[in-house]
Amino acid sequence: MFSPFNLHPDTKQDKQRHNNSSSIKDLARDFTTKPIPLPIWLWNTIVIIIYIQIAIFLIQWGLAAIAAVILFLTNL
């Protein structure tokens, strides 16, 4: 594989050394292809909790916006 930073051609030993080393990018790729093996009910619970938190956040901002509009209209 050609790289502008590596002027020497890759050898088999270089490739093996690269495959044995792990970087953050490799760890991220591994996590996206092989996520943490948790039971499906636990993943579902985590997703439901995230959805509930997002809904609460949106409701709070919606109520704040409604209150701001009411206060603005009453001060006209």
Q: What's the pLDDT band for 6 if we cut at 50, 70, 90? A: low
Number of domains forming the structure of the chain: 1
Quote the pLDDT of residue 23.
77
Q: Is residue 2 assigned to a domain?
A: no
Q: What percentage of the chain carries pLDDT values higher than 90?
A: 41
Q: Is residue 6 assigned to a domain?
A: no
Q: Is residue 46 assigned to a domain?
A: yes
Nearest partner of 35 among 50, 46, 51, 48, judged by Cα: 46
Buried b (16+ CB within 10 A) or exposed e, 20-48: eeeeeeeeeeeeeeeeeeeeeeeeeeeee
Q: Which domain holds residue 31?
A: 13-74
- C-alpha distances out from residue 29 to 6, 36, 39, 51, Å: 23, 13, 21, 25
Q: Which residue has the higher pLDDT, 4 or 32?
A: 32
Q: Is residue 42 assigned to a domain?
A: yes
Q: Is residue 43 assigned to a domain?
A: yes
Q: Which two tokens stand for residue 44?
A: 């579902």
Q: What is the pLDDT of residues 20-54, one digit of tens each?
A: 556 777 777 776 777 667 788 888 999 999 999 99
Distance of CA 49 to the CA centre of its chain: 16
